[in-house]
Structure 1
C-alpha cells in the first residue's frame, strides 16, 4: 500500500484551498483519479509565471519541478505545450492556478508543507 494520496484527492484540495484563499483554480484536463500525474499552469493576477509538476529530487524529497515554457510565453505556446503533454499521457491532470505566490501555494497544498 502506498502513502501517496490519490491525484483526484490532491486536485480537489487544491481547488478548494485556492477558492477559499480568494484565488482561482480550474481543471483544464481531467486525468486518472488514482494515479494520474499533474501539470500546473501557474498564474498570478492572470499573468503567466510558469509551469510545474510534482516530483522528487535526488534525495527523494517531494518538490515541484519547473517544466515547459518560461514566463515570456504567449497563450498559444502555453496551450500547445500542455496539449502535447496530454496527448502523450491521457492520465495527466492539467490544472490552471491563479493565486499570489502560486508555486509556493501549490507546494504547500500538494506536499502539506
Structure 2
C-alpha cells in the first residue's frame, strides 16, 4: 500500500491554502490525478523565487528539492523551462504560487509528516 496522497488532492489542498492565506495559486498544467509529479514555481509579489519539487533525501525523509536553472531573468525563461519539463513528462503538474514564504507554505501543505 502506498502512503502517498494522490497528486490531484495535494494540488487542491495547496491551491486552497495559498488562496485562503491571501496569495495566488494557479495550475499552469494539469498532470496525472493519481501519480503525477509536481513542479512548483515560487514567486513573492510577482518576483520569481525559484522552482521546487517534492523529493526525498537519502534517509527517505521528504523535502522540497530545488529544480531548474539557478538564475532566470525573464518570465519567458520560466515558461520555457516548465514547458520543456512538461514535454518530457506529460503527467507533470505545474503550479505557480505567488505568496510570501511560498516554499514554506508548499512544504507544510504537500509534504507528508
**TM-score (norm. length: structure 1):** 0.96
- Structure 1 residues 61-70 or 26-35, which shifts more? 61-70
**Alpha-carbon distance between aligned partners in 1 of 2:57 and 2:88, rounded to the nearest angstrom:** 23
Unpaired segments ≥5 residues, structure 1: none
The answer for the alignment partner of 2:109 in structure 1 is: 109
Q: How many residues matched? A: 113
* Alignment CA distance shift 1:112-1:60 (3 Å): closer
The answer on whether the counterparts of 2:62 and 2:112 sit within 8 Å (CA) in structure 1 is no
* In the alignment, structure 1 residue 22 sits paired with structure 2 residue 13: no
Which stretches of structure 1, 4 residues or more, deviate above 2 A after TM superposition?
69-73
Unpaired segments ≥5 residues, structure 2: none
* Alignment CA distance shift 1:109-1:52 (3 Å): same
